[in-house]
Structure 1
Amino acid sequence: MAKSKTVQVEKETPFHTLSVEQVAEHYGTNIYEGLTSEEATNRLKTYGYNELQGNGGVKWYKVLWRQLANTLVLILLIASALAFITKDYAEGGVIVAVIITNAAIGFWQEYSAEQTMEALRNMSSPTAQVIRNETRTTIPNNQAVPGDIMIFEDGDVIGADCRLFEIFNLETDEALLTGESLPVQKNLEPIENAEQPLGDRLNMVFSSTTVVKGRARGIVTSTGMNTQIGQIATSLLEVDGGGSTPLQKRLNMMAYWIFLAAIVLVIIVFGVHKFQYSNEVAIYAISVAIAMIPEGLVAVVTLTMAFGVSRMAEVKAIVRRLSSLESLGAVTNICSDKTGTLTQSKMVAVRMWLPGDGFYRVTGTGFEPEGEIYRQGEVVAEPGATEGPSDSQVPEELVQVDTSGDHLLRTLQAASLCNMAELRKTSHPENHGEWSAIGDPTEIALQVLAYKAGLAKPDLVQQGFKLVAEFPFDSSVKRMSVLYQGPQTEKGSGEHFIFLKGATERVLSCCTHWRKGESEVSLTGEKGGNHREEFESMIVEKMDILAEKGLRVLTLAYRRFQPTPGVDLVHDLDRDEIEQDMIFLGLVGIYDPPRAESRPAVLECYDAGIRVHMLTGDHPSTAAAIAKEVAIIPSDCAIKGNPLIMTATQFDAMTDEEVDQLEELPRVVARCSPNTKVKMIAALHRRKLFAAMTGDGVNDSPSLKAANVGIAMGQSGSDVAKQAADIVLTDDNFATIVKAVAEGRRIFANIQKFIQHLLSANVAEIVVLVVGLAFQDKDGHSVFPMSAVQILFLNMITSSPPAMGLGLEPASEANMREPPRSSKQGLFSFEVIMDTFVYGLAMGCLTFAAYCLVIFGNNNGNLGRGCNKDYSEDCAGVFRARATAYACLTLLLLAHAVNCRSLRSSGWSIRNLKTMRENKMLWLSIVVGALLVFPCIYIPGLNHSVFKHTGLTYEWGYVVVVLFLFIGFAELYKFIKRRTMKPLSVRANSELEMERMRTFMSQNTQSDSVMEAK
């Protein structure tokens, strides 16, 4: 196949605003004859193939380069090179091994991700039905061109964006583009608004969406990257995912400073020796440089992240990019899709209203036909006063469904029989006993309602109800009707009934009476005491009550039918005649229930100082009601004029400057397009906020890519969304996001702990080595207070395991009760930097003091000659002092690991020591690290030849004193901090957040006209 021609994506033409004739003229096509083969070939050369373009996949060498192109890795490479140059092969080999291990872990973690564009390509329909040369023909879908006349039928995947010109009962599933959970009914009328949201362009169909019902024909308006899904693909290629994470940026900055400091220290070493080069001076300079570099940092960070991946998998969150773990801890805002993320994506009938009887509540969720119908009468709580349609409330009266023919019975019969959906109880061994459904989501909801009332369609059919004729749902009339013959009676054939359901305004236009109990009241005369206008006003009032709860309202009606003798009830019936003189029965409110875990999860987000936004393709009333139920906005707030609720049309119409001037970004944005979601993420970024985006459809992919953390749904999510995301939830549960954020915060706090531990060790070593430059032997050479191997052993073997243990610390009690860390409370906050230097200086000074005590107290200040290389009797005091310094610093670093568990609380309290038992890695590393001191000091050959020290006797007394002095100093230092420094953060609270939103809304509520003007 020839390679597709790359075509620049043009500015979208608003074809939905044009008539069919204008679109045909625009593309020079004929809706009856189509294009000629020659013209189609020419257009294929001009527009290119109807397929999506990718970036060629992920190259392994690019992934490997990203692992090695790291400042800290570069410094380690330089250190290893210097070690090899000076023939210190052991030290150089260890550093190289650390670099290789770290690169290998990171490489395989990233390389396992497949490229996003492959999933997008595979979504296209392989073939298409078009009219070419006045003949209907099948072509490869990638050869469709603008101006082609394309034909769609039930079940087809639409191959290109098209302007419809002929439809029959057409409904399409556009959830992957708009997030709308219900099929969209199409029509042919031009739309005046050029900026109409994608979900409301009813005269258009879009590439990769599916025909749910009916058939149609349309003019191809866009192909390839110019389609709506192509624009999503373009966004995925162009969107910047936020660059380096804060941790990566801070580590890189830290590496630059370390590199600079190492160079300065090397210059100091050579300066003290008057810049006279010798191997001994070079080795000392390398030792100082090694002491400055936290060799174990890259490995500890990478392995801590790897352990974090395993922990996340345990809470059903799959991490695709290691850096996202740290990013989660900094999240300030979560932008969530509604359908399937906060909700169950299952339509459920939860309310009914019958004239004369009032409101009814229906319990139960999902496809399970288990629940009760309760009568509430006309006394109904004001909109927003309850938590939502499914909230628990003491019923006023339990309605017993009467089978003798009352008002409720006819209503439920209409719901059951005017319905093509089927409920099934599976017998498959894996899902035995579970209920499943087939059909339109709203019809499924009505059928479940009928099952709950004991009036399931199969039961009614078995009782004798027989379908005679059906007039299917038609988007032009927005209603469906059926003619049934009732059960046989003693007098002979059963009565005939017509049942009707549909949009309220379309059903009311067919009604001449309304049912009130057992009587029928006329809508057309004075006799009934109620005019049509008054009745319709009452219906609108009741609909508003249901709509305020986010329910989709369907209306039911019926009438008895007397067949005319000799008329064929199958072929001779006229729909207009059948659907007239109907009797209004009542309203049914249907909604997509939120997950049970969503509300607690949102409230926990508020407790953690994280704000939640809902960005959905649903209608504003539905979106706002669900937002109330899951606590995204207060349940007692109004919907109209609410500044926290916007439509995509309102939000998209605002410039970036106008969005930035908003005191508060909207918490609910309805009728969203992919660009709306990306615009919201961009607005959050301009406010210096750290955004996470959750989603499951293709329409969520650009925003998942643009967000700092993209979180996709694993079960209901498309492949595109999963590949664009950083994290995939295997259980599609919003509550898992909160667990993921908690894990991210834990990891961030632990990274802060072990970095402080590692850098404190470096500061202590530098203090010892730099001050030690003042001590020179009989030949005028500086005497090493610590050897290069001792330093490397302390950094890699002694310090790294406890640092790893700190990386595995369990979350603190305040982990999810504090706001996200600001830049001032980041990884290298003032307090962390201060602690690093205070603890480092204390450990360095105490270690050097012990070194001096041995040199001057027991060795009379004899520094020998050549003691940096070999052991001799003249160097025994230096070797003993060096061993003392090594033992002191080893135990101080291990004790410091206990200090680093908390910035301010006592590390040595009974309570904290008990909690440390949960962290086996930490206390085992401390015990093993302490025991390793003895073989390093006492094993012959190893001590003199490798570590350049010797065995200790009475010097252990200095070590113990130094250890207790440091512990006492650390406790006093933390006590002073607790008394003099401000609390780390202000405690967040969900109730305070709700009250803040109420105050904001009361001060900024605007009229609908003002909002529309915006």
Structure 2
Amino acid sequence: MLDDPRPAPPEAWHSHSGGECLRRLDSRPGGLTPHEVEARQRRHGPNSLPAKPPAGWIALGLRQFLNPLALLLLAAAAVSLALGEFPDAGFILLVLVVNAVVGALQEGRAERGAAALGGLVRQEATVLRADRRQRLDAAELVPGDIVVLEGGDLVPADIRLLEAERLTLDESLLTGESLPVEKTADAILPAALALGERTTLLHAGSLVQRGRAVGVVVATGLRTEIGQIARALERVESKAPLVLRLERFTRLIGAAVVGAVAALAAFGLILGLPPAEIFFVAVALAVSAIPEGLPIAVTVALAVAARRMARRNVIVRTLPMVEGLGACTVIASDKTGTLTENALTVQCLWLPDGSSVEAGRDEPPEPAIRLATAGALCNDAALGPGPGLNGDRSGATGDAVDVALLLLASRWRTAPSPGPEGARCGAIPYEPANRMAAVFTRRTEGVHATVKGAVEAVLPMCRGESGPILAASRALAEDGHRVLAIAEGRVEAPGGPEVLRGLTPLGLVALADPLRPEAAA
């Protein structure tokens, strides 16, 4: 029997050391035994978000009758049949059937489109169990499992880090921030921290951009942060303005019909008409007063609007929600990945002569090519097998900034060629405290250093006037760009930041997460 999937507030795993988390989870660095895994799978269930199967066509059709106006029309059809008014009853039933078919077709497409979006947690994961490394379906993970992650992996569950090497993650799915997040295994953090500040935790659905990690699973399925979001969405119940107005309209019609029938009956009795005749006249009045054409008119209009929305990549789960969207005056939308492409991209280059070169230019000047080549050289990312001039980043792994610099070099065909001349002989990895990274290459004239990083970190390593560079950096940042400085020069030997002196600034790189083409300016 599974635990209640609605437990007390989740444990603040980031406020404990890695060893303490292992102890609380009754786990160990070598992983769980098969017997422990089996017992925990029975207790916690699969590591997946429960998804209701799409409703069948019959259920979708019957759902179209569950509104007050349709029920009122069904009552009218039943009365017409009882009175022998078969043409009226047939017309009303035909309207209701057409309305149900149109609504069911539209909602069925939407249900199946939404179901296709539900695979964020299910994937394979590298797990240590009984000191053996194995590749498993992520749905089999349980709390206490030891998971190994590398660049390009999707985090399969909520994980407390035990080891981390130069680890950065893309958490934009949960936080909306497109910039990579540095993670560490050693810190013990306050319990009351926002999700984006929990640097010792990895959350399901995040993407490892760079580095390597080993961690212990602390939450699976609905107990993960993404599971909490899924549970909150299941509890949301709301009605579109159109539904509310139709319900109010139905109540008004019902009240008006009952009032008119009562008045007619009273008037007939006063005139001394036979009760049977009064009854038939009252029923006929009631049936004729109900607008049987209204449901089909509303459904067709909403179905047309839903198809238009579908052409704009918007899934409308139920038809009345189309009108609900049209009634909005303010829409609060996540920016990253919704209005933007969630793909950090080089927008332009600023050169030391004061000129600016757009990244989309086909024939850049020599200083821009030199700057792009240096950005590709001081780089730990890798592109997929087929990146081309269109900026395709499928299969790319590594830090988002490094990927953007490689794509620029690929577009301009300036990527440094491998070989003895220019072979890497050392590196300074990026650290938040240094705000820069460097690589050392061996050239004919000696050891050469290429540096990229924050303007304030790189400029002190360079010779020459820094005022124009700082002014250009501020201007680009005010325009919403993330700005990197790149410099290069000869050094005595590979080493730490202290050997980086007297470099030549090559320029600035301005990056941004571009708007989607369909997003309104």
* TM-score strictly above 0.5: yes
Alignment match, 1:8: 6
Q: How does 1:484-503 map to 2 (within 5 A)?
A: 484-486=441-443, 493-494=444-445, 496-503=447-454
Amino acid at match of 1:29: S
Matched, 1:177 2:97: no
Q: Which runs of 5+ in 1 are unaligned?
A: 373-399, 403-407, 487-492, 518-534, 564-573, 596-730, 739-1014
Instruction: Give the conservation status (yes or no) of the 8 Å contact 1:153–1:214.
Output: yes
**1:398-454 superposed Cα distances (whole Å, 9 cap, x missing partner):** xx646xxxxx88655533432456789979xxxx974535554323443566689x7
Query: Which of residues 516, 519, 529 in structure 1 aligns to 2:464?
Result: 516
**1:511-539 superposed Cα distances (whole Å, 9 cap, x missing partner):** 6x52227xxxxxxxxxxxxxxxxx8x998
**Residues 191 and 334 (structure 1), Cα distance of their counterparts in 2 relative to 1, 3 Å cut:** farther
Alignment match, 1:17: 15
Distance (Å, rounded) in 2 between the aligned partners of 1:422 and 1:188:
25
Query: Which of residues 436, 439, 444 in structure 1 aligns to 2:392?
Result: 436
Amino acid at match of 2:19: E
Matched, 1:225 2:184: no
Matched, 1:262 2:252: no
**Residues 222 and 503 (structure 1), Cα distance of their counterparts in 2 relative to 1, 3 Å cut:** farther
Instruction: Give the conservation status (yes or no) of the 8 Å contact 2:389–2:410.
Output: no
Alignment match, 2:440: 483
Instruction: Give the conservation status (yes or no) of the 8 Å contact 1:351–1:359.
Output: no
Alignment match, 2:518: 733
Identity %: 30
Q: Which runs of 5+ in 2 are unaligned?
A: none
Bigger helix fraction? 1
**Residues 578 and 498 (structure 1), Cα distance of their counterparts in 2 relative to 1, 3 Å cut:** farther
Query: Which of residues 347, 362, 378 in structure 2 aligns to 1:370?
Result: 362
Matched, 1:292 2:251: no
Instruction: Give the conservation status (yes or no) of the 8 Å contact 1:362–1:371.
Output: no
Matched, 1:557 2:508: no
Deviation of 1:216 after TM superposition, in Å, equals 1.3
Distance (Å, rounded) in 2 between the aligned partners of 1:412 and 1:589:
9
Deviation of 1:164 after TM superposition, in Å, equals 1.0
Distance (Å, rounded) in 1 between the aligned partners of 2:53 and 2:385:
46
**1:46-78 superposed Cα distances (whole Å, 9 cap, x missing partner):** 433323223455365553443212222232223
Q: How does 1:850-999 map to 2 (within 5 A)?
A: none
- Please tell me the root mean square deviation across aligned C-alpha atoms, in Å: 3.9
Deviation of 1:278 after TM superposition, in Å, equals 5.9
Distance (Å, rounded) in 2 between the aligned partners of 1:140 and 1:542:
50
Matched, 1:471 2:463: no
Alignment match, 1:198: 195
Alignment match, 1:782: none
Distance (Å, rounded) in 2 between the aligned partners of 1:195 and 1:371:
52
Amino acid at match of 1:246: P
Amino acid at match of 2:51: G
Instruction: Give the conservation status (yes or no) of the 8 Å contact 2:205–2:226.
Output: yes
Alignment match, 2:138: 141
Deviation of 1:323 after TM superposition, in Å, equals 0.8
Distance (Å, rounded) in 1 between the aligned partners of 2:369 and 2:89:
86
**1:634-664 superposed Cα distances (whole Å, 9 cap, x missing partner):** xxxxxxxxxxxxxxxxxxxxxxxxxxxxxxx
**1:642-695 superposed Cα distances (whole Å, 9 cap, x missing partner):** xxxxxxxxxxxxxxxxxxxxxxxxxxxxxxxxxxxxxxxxxxxxxxxxxxxxxx
Moved more, 274-283 or 87-96: 274-283
Deviation of 1:227 after TM superposition, in Å, equals 1.0
**Residues 590 and 108 (structure 1), Cα distance of their counterparts in 2 relative to 1, 3 Å cut:** same
Alignment match, 2:322: 325
Matched, 1:576 2:506: no
Amino acid at match of 2:98: T
Distance (Å, rounded) in 2 between the aligned partners of 1:138 and 1:420:
26
Matched, 1:131 2:128: yes
Alignment match, 2:508: 588
**1:915-957 superposed Cα distances (whole Å, 9 cap, x missing partner):** xxxxxxxxxxxxxxxxxxxxxxxxxxxxxxxxxxxxxxxxxxx
Distance (Å, rounded) in 2 between the aligned partners of 1:346 and 1:577:
30
Amino acid at match of 2:508: V
Deviation of 1:97 after TM superposition, in Å, equals 1.6
**1:447-490 superposed Cα distances (whole Å, 9 cap, x missing partner):** 566689x7x534x649996334353744576543333355xxxx
Matched, 1:417 2:377: yes
**Residues 6 and 68 (structure 1), Cα distance of their counterparts in 2 relative to 1, 3 Å cut:** same
**Residues 100 and 269 (structure 1), Cα distance of their counterparts in 2 relative to 1, 3 Å cut:** same
Amino acid at match of 1:497: H
Instruction: Give the conservation status (yes or no) of the 8 Å contact 2:48–2:121.
Output: yes
Amino acid at match of 2:224: T
The count of residues paired between Structure 1 and Structure 2 equals: 515
Alignment match, 1:216: 213
Amino acid at match of 1:17: S
**Residues 204 and 542 (structure 1), Cα distance of their counterparts in 2 relative to 1, 3 Å cut:** farther
Instruction: Give the conservation status (yes or no) of the 8 Å contact 1:501–1:554.
Output: yes
Instruction: Give the conservation status (yes or no) of the 8 Å contact 2:178–2:513.
Output: no
Distance (Å, rounded) in 1 between the aligned partners of 2:72 and 2:425:
82
Instruction: Give the conservation status (yes or no) of the 8 Å contact 1:57–1:114.
Output: yes
Distance (Å, rounded) in 1 between the aligned partners of 2:295 and 2:289:
14
Instruction: Give the conservation status (yes or no) of the 8 Å contact 1:424–1:435.
Output: no
**Residues 584 and 284 (structure 1), Cα distance of their counterparts in 2 relative to 1, 3 Å cut:** same
- Secondary structure of the structure 2 residue equivalent to 1:171: strand
Amino acid at match of 1:255: T
